[in-house]
Amino acid sequence: MLLISSCGNKEATTTTTTTTTTDPAVTTPAATPATTAPTAPVATTPATTAPAASAGAPLSAAEKAQLTPARTALVMANSAVKSGDITKAKAQYTKFSALLPALQPILKAKAGDSYPAIESSLAQVSTAMSSATPDKTKAGEGLTAAIKGMTALIDRK
C-alpha cells in the first residue's frame, strides 16, 4: 500500500493499492483515488418552493380564489378612505389582515420582484391606519399601490 500526502496540506490525499492474485502473471490494480478537496457550500431550494422570477409565475385557480377576497377587502378599504369613512376602512383592512397570513406564502412565491413593493405598501397602510388620527392620504396611497400589485398578480397570465 502506498500513501502519498503533502506535508501540512490536508486539501488533497491520494491512495493507490495494487493487489496481486496467486497467479504472478495476473496483476489487478485496485487503484482507488480518494481525493478530498474543500468544497463550497451548495445552496438548496426546497422542491415545493417555486423560484421567484422577476415577473413571477402565474397563479393557479385555487391561488386566485384565495387572493381575490383579500384584494376585494383592500378595494373596499380604499373606497372607504376616499369617502372619509375611516371606521369602515379600518374594518375592511382588519378583514384583509386576517386573510394575510394564509396568503403570504403565495405572495412571496408568485409575486417575484413585485413582492417588496406590495409588502411595503401594506406596511404603509398599517402605519397610516394604526395612528390615533389615521393619515387618509398615506393610507390611500398604500392601498392603491397594494391593490395595483395584487391585481397585476391575479391577472398575470
- Beta strands (DSSP E) in the chain are 2-5, 13-20, 27-31
pTM for the whole thing? 0.63
Q: Quick one: DSSP state of residue 60?
A: P
How confident is the model at residue 56, as a pLDDT? 65
Express as a percent the part of the chain with pLDDT over 70.
Answer: 64
**In degrees, to the nearest 5, what angle opens at C-alpha 49 toward C-alphas 45 and 71?**
145
Overall size of the chain counted in residues: 157
Q: C-alpha cell of 104?
A: 403570504
Residue 129: closest CA among 120, 140, 119: 140
Q: C-alpha cell of 16?
A: 493507490
Average pLDDT over residues 101-122: 92
pLDDT by residue (tens digit) across 45-66? 333 333 334 456 788 999 999 9
Average pLDDT over the chain reads 76
Average pLDDT over residues 12-32: 49
Whether 74 has a pLDDT exceeding 90, the answer reads yes
Asked if residues 136 and 124 have their Cβ atoms less than 8 Å apart, the reply is: no
Largest CA distance in the chain: 100
